[in-house]
Copies of this chain bind each other. A is one copy, B any other.
Amino acid sequence: MSKVVTISEAASIAMHGMIIIARANKVTNVLEIAEATLTSKHHVAKVLQRLVKEGFLTSQRGPTGGFILKKEAKKINLLSIYEAIEGKIEISNCFLDKQICPFSMCFMNNITLDLTVKFKEYMETQTLDKYI
């Protein structure tokens, strides 16, 4: 079994985690998110740290500590979360990063490009408030 459309666990934790926090509407900690997403708390911690640095979350240490949205749910879309973790999605060039494609017109570019653009467009429409 293979996959063409791939999303790392990190990106998944980021997006699911942001939705969980948006829904909770209160300070939520690593453990709660790890349990809700069925992933390791270590990985969740690392991803949430990143989201803090990127300005998506505010963190609070100590007992009763955790994370809370820094911006309105309506103003955060899934694409921005995804790209905060993975880096900007590439929408051009050879899908294998060859400088010179051995074929004058690469047979694959069309389909991979097309699907990537569709993905980006969809993700951009998905704001967090749609999942509350």
**A-side interface residues toward B, CB under 8 Å?**
1-7, 9, 12, 15-16, 19, 36-38, 78, 83, 86-90, 95-96, 98, 100, 102-103, 107-108, 111-112, 114-116, 118-119, 122-123, 126, 131
Question: Which residues of chain B are near A3, meaning CB under 8 Å?
Answer: 6, 89-90, 95, 116
Given contacts A7-B95, A87-B1, A96-B12, contact A115 B112 (CB under 8 A): no
Q: How far is the CB of A108 from chain B (nearest CB, A)?
A: 7
A2–B86 CB distance below 8 A? yes
Q: How far, in angstroms, from A126 to B109 measured CA to CA in the complex?
A: 13
B88–A1 CB distance below 8 A? yes
- Return the chain B residue nearest A13 by Cβ: B96
B16–A102 CB distance below 8 A? yes
Q: How far is the CB of A82 from chain B (nearest CB, A)?
A: 8
Question: Which residues of chain B are near A126, meaning CB under 8 Å?
Answer: 107
Question: Which residues of chain B are near A98, meaning CB under 8 Å?
Answer: 38
Which 6 A-B pairs rank lowest in CB-CB distance, beginning with the nearest?
A2-B86, A2-B87, A1-B90, A5-B112, A115-B115, A5-B115
